[in-house]
Structure 1
Amino acid sequence: MRAVVAERHGGPEVLTETDHPDPRPGPGGLLVRLAAAGINYKDLYEREGRAAPRAPFVPGSEGAGTVLATGTGVTGFRPGDRVAWCAAPASYAELVAVPARAAVRVPDDVSDTDAAASMLQGLTAHYLTTSTYRAAEGETALVHSAAGGLGQHLVRLLVRRGARVIGTVSAPGKVVAAEAAGAHHVIVRGGDPGELSRRVLDHTGGRGADVVYDGIGKDTFEAGLAALRPRGMFVLVGAASGPVPPFDPQSLAPRGSLFLTRPTLVDHATDPDELTARADDVFRWLREGVLKTVIGGRYGFDRAAAAHADLQSGTTTGKLLLQPGH
């Protein structure tokens, strides 16, 4: 089969398309022919060696496709089923070995590309807005990278709950995408963190946001804390700009008895029943138009390096997909 391989840790240039041995479905596993793989910041971190398997390796963990074979002990899936996943290593490949407990069935009225584009970010937006912090009507949420795939999902779900959303984007050209998702105010981030927090306070009459969703990390962490109301919740979702520097939890007290959490999808979808229930909601929201998949780019395996470079540049909007033969 053809696959994308990171021959070593480093920049996007380490990714190459090459022949790779076919995987086999082990006990409790599925062998799936890939239709599309999602490209995520997690893949970039692994490629760089921040959170990495040993090189060489096939990156990727999210995708959708059709079951070709099942391993021993598998129930609930059979060849021909369309499935999607967000926790199967080596997903940048024509054939992917997917643990059955990590797979969900894709409804007939949801396309493979929509399923691949919505698994990680859709499920993440689901647990962030239902389990991590359930925003109430009239509350204010600050959503960083509101034009990105996860950001747009968060904006839509928060607005659906009746929250007022302040979104941030990295460039003026992304304002329209954040507004289209429903953001009430959009701030173009600059180099002054103090200006960002001041603008949030201005939009909230000096009160501050009830919750901050931050997938950027180092560059926005301090500004987000300063933008919260007393007893507000800071949700650290990722580290696109780099990890947050060492932080003293004691400093949360004089800032207003703030809450700080770093949740992950793994701890909110380990149980297959919980995963299926969350995925069912996401697929239903897609059908109803509550969520919309915005595909920011489609890349063939031979352009995987370009896809990583584009995502890392901060110039993309929506979800990037890797598709064999595209």
Structure 2
Amino acid sequence: MAATLADGVPDKQMAVVLEHIVEKAEDLNACLRDDVDVPGKNKPLGAQEVLVRNKFAGVNFIDTYFRTGLYKAEAPFGLGREGAGEVVGVGSEVPESICKLGDNVAYLASSTYAQYSAASADRVYKAPADVGLDVLTTLLTQGLTAQYLARDSFPLGPGKACLVQAAAGGTGQLLVQVAKALGATVIGTCSKRKSDIAKAVGCDLVLNYDELSQDEVVDRVKEATEGKGVHVAYDGVGKATYQMSMQCVRKRGTLVLFGNASGAVPPIDPLDLTKQGSIFLTRPIMGHHIEDQADFASRMDELVAWYKDGSVKVTVQATLPLSEVSESHRLLESGSTQGKVLLKTD
């Protein structure tokens, strides 16, 4: 049976397509084209695929990794890993319990810097009527990352202390709030100008890495934890901070490396983990934490519940048109972001 498409879906669309690596954010605008095939028109939707007319696409550091070649992709390739909008096409095997034509959804997929995107039904989440699509887009990659870090990479709860590097960034803010919702003590790092943000989202102690040396940060973390260190350090900054994070972890604690904002972390000698107190090291990715659609929906339900009860607040710093995709990456790479950056794609 063929997929069902809504009336008015065009053959072509505007989308960002890279024919080669783009090192500088300022050159990304040149990759916006208006002749890109709409999924489901020239090539049929898969039986378990959904076509979405996008309203928002989220901008994340992983997009810059693909753009610059840190993560490999075969050209030509699109950018974007998340989006939200209206369902305008459903494959023949997509149950209505997941979505139907006309539903608003948030989803994880590739090539979302586009007016239309196809997503696998097991990564589609039907939008609650009382939650905006901009909020849901923010709760996708960044929110789900915070959720699995605090639930799975190291289960937080009362009596547990964690360090969150870049606590005032997009993912950092959500991770701090999730950690507090679970009852943990949170030590956050950020620049001095972002201290108020880190405090506002719930950090019990804020350390400014532009005023303190890395050794001083470690000393302050130890002082705040009775000389032991934190149970877990969450580090999405990468190359610039991973050694500091490692030194903040207590004996048999856990170091979670989940990003490369300052560059990729070099290979780590296992003996360094031994010297630090037989600590554990993990480098998780989201794809290994979402098993199926039910799991995806359950994780999103928890994030939405926290949002509704006020435990987790969402900050959207900038919403830019697709024509300003260069600016979206410049903002992210500048280190000046204080919340989510979205592209408005409709």
Q: TM-score, normalised by structure 2?
A: 0.90
- Given candidates 25, 28, 36, the residue that maps to 2:56 is 36
Residue-by-residue CA offset, 1:288-309 (whole Å, 9 max, x unaligned) = 1111110011111111111101
1:310 aligned partner:
331
Which stretches of structure 1, 4 residues or more, deviate above 6 A after TM superposition? Answer: none
Deviation at 1:241, TM superposition (A): 0.8
Contact 1:216 1:241 in 2 (8 A): yes
1:222 aligned partner:
243
Deviation at 1:250, TM superposition (A): 2.5
1:296 aligned partner:
317
Contact 1:167 1:185 in 2 (8 A): yes
Distance 1:63 1:292 in 2: 19
Aligned-partner SS, 1:219 = coil
Distance 1:67 1:114 in 2: 18
2:106 aligned partner:
84
Q: Does 1:4 align with 2:16?
A: yes
- Given candidates 13, 30, 33, the residue that maps to 1:18 is 33
Matches within 5 A, 1:68-147: 68-76=88-96, 77-86=99-108, 88-147=109-168
Contact 1:8 1:14 in 2 (8 A): no
Residue identity in the other structure for 1:291: V
Distance 1:231 1:91 in 2: 40
Residue-by-residue CA offset, 1:160-187 (whole Å, 9 max, x unaligned) = 2222111011x22211111110001111
For structure 1, the residue ranges without an aligned partner over 5 or more in a row are: none
Matches within 5 A, 1:259-274: 259-274=280-295
Distance 2:323 2:220 in 1: 43
Distance 2:334 2:75 in 1: 24
- Given candidates 149, 166, 171, the residue that maps to 1:150 is 171
Distance 1:196 1:55 in 2: 42
Deviation at 1:201, TM superposition (A): 1.5
CA-atom RMSD, angstroms?
1.4
Contact 2:170 2:337 in 1 (8 A): no
Deviation at 1:149, TM superposition (A): 1.8
Residue identity in the other structure for 2:24: G
Choose 193-202 or 280-289, whichever is displaced more: 193-202
Q: TM-score, normalised by structure 1?
A: 0.95
Contact 1:6 1:14 in 2 (8 A): no
Q: Does 1:236 align with 2:248?
A: no
Aligned-partner SS, 2:305 = helix
Distance 2:220 2:68 in 1: 34
Residue-by-residue CA offset, 1:234-291 (whole Å, 9 max, x unaligned) = 1111111111111111221121111111111101113211111111111111111111
For these two proteins, the number of residue pairs brought into alignment is 323
For structure 2, the residue ranges without an aligned partner over 5 or more in a row are: 1-12
Contact 1:7 1:14 in 2 (8 A): no
Deviation at 1:205, TM superposition (A): 3.0
Residue identity in the other structure for 1:52: K
Aligned-partner SS, 2:332 = helix
